[in-house]
């Protein structure tokens, strides 16, 4: 055997083995590449574990720093039921359709609430009392103006305010413009504060010549600045001027399950002066505070959550 032939055979054998290994390596690399591609596709495929969740949404709009939601500006809205603050009730009628009423509130506590109606008491519109409002101690309305006595400050100092634009603005009022009221120190009259003839007066009225105070089961009356005269009247709760007489609202009458309306003379009153029955507001609520007012033939009665109107002097309701 020739040495050159031997070397050629060994080279040929080596070349074939090399080609085999190269082929194997190529196949392995191809397989690895296929596997890597498959894994990559699997990572980017949609998940089969459930439906995709919704994209979050937000219902509120972005707010700039330091801005606040606007509060109501105090514009009055009609309120069929009315707004009732603690304390006494005050009522003043203009005619059969228009009237003003107030829940007095409490001195150095809850402010009073003033309301106005022009539809016979079906709806009531709250009316602002101006800056520094307090308790409403007296109320009197007319065709051209409305006046109130407001108790302001820690000592509930009475101040008369009058409005000629239905409560849109208020000015200082004249003494006595709002009638008489009940304050923490007694009665509030046009001449100033005076002692009450009873320990817990319910309501006060001041006319041109006479003054009347509703007390527990009695009406106290006087002419000018004379002596008080007490007229016993069971269940009396409110009183309204009726010229030479008073219209009185009382409860617990045997013949009336609601609020009984009586007439009491306002001139020459004595302890033995008698009242006479005018009518019965049977639908009125006799419990709690109530108020009666008169304008011409129209008589108003605020009792419970209702305001009733009689157009025949209080006979029928």
Non-local CB neighbours of 176 within 8 Å, separated by 6+ positions? 160, 189, 190, 206
Superfamily of domain 196-311: TolB, C-terminal domain (2.120.10.30)
Say how far apart CA 74 and CA 86 lie, in whole Å: 21
Non-local CB neighbours of 144 within 8 Å, separated by 6+ positions? 164
Domain ranges within the chain, ordered by starting residue = 77-184, 196-311
pTM for the whole structure: 0.73
Taking only the tens of pLDDT, the chain with its 317 residues reads: 444 444 444 444 445 565 555 565 655 565 555 545 454 444 444 433 333 333 333 233 333 333 322 333 233 334 443 444 457 999 999 999 999 999 999 887 889 999 999 999 999 999 999 888 899 999 999 999 999 999 988 788 999 999 999 999 999 999 999 999 999 889 999 999 999 999 999 999 999 999 999 999 999 999 999 999 999 999 999 999 999 999 999 999 999 999 999 999 999 999 999 999 999 999 999 998 899 999 999 999 999 889 999 999 999 99
Q: Which residues pair with 218 in a beta bridge?
A: 215, 232
* Cβ neighbours around 96 below 10 Å, total: 17
């Amino acid at each position: 055997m020739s040495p050159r032939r031997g070397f050629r055979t060994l080279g040929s054998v080596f070349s074939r083995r090399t080609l085999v290994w190269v082929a194997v390596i190529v196949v392995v690399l191809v397989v690895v590449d296929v596997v890597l591609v498959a894994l990559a596709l699997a990572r980017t495929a949609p998940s089969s574990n459930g439906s995709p969740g919704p994209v979050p949404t937000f219902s509120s709009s972005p707010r700039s720093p330091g801005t606040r939601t606007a509060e109501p500006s105090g514009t009055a809205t009609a309120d069929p039921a009315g707004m009732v603050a603690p304390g006494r009730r005050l009522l003043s009628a203009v005619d059969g359709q228009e009237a003003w009423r107030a829940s007095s509130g409490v001195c150095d506590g809850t402010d009073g609430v003033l309301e106005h109606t022009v539809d016979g008491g079906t709806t009531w519109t709250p009316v602002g009392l101006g800056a520094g409002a307090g308790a409403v101690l007296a109320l009197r309305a007319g065709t051209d103006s409305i006046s109130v006595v407001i108790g302001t400050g820690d000592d509930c100092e009475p101040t008369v305010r009058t409005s000629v634009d239905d409560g849109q603005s208020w000015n200082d009022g004249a003494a006595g413009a709002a009638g008489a009221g009940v304050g923490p120190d007694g009665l509030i009259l046009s001449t100033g504060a005076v002692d009450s003839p009873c320990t817990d007066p319910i309501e006060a009225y001041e006319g041109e010549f006479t003054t009347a105070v509703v007390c527990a089961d009695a009406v106290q009356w006087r002419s000018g600045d004379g002596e008080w005269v007490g007229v016993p009247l069971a269940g009396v709760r409110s009183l309204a001027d009726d010229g030479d007489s008073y219209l009185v609202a009382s409860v617990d009458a045997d013949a009336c399950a609601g609020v009984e309306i009586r007439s009491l003379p306002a001139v020459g009153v004595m302890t033995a002066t008698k009242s006479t029955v005018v009518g019965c507001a049977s639908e009125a609520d006799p419990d709690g505070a109530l108020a009666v007012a008169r304008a011409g033939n129209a008589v108003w009665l605020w009792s419970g959550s209702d305001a009733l109107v009689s157009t025949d002097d209080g006979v029928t309701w």
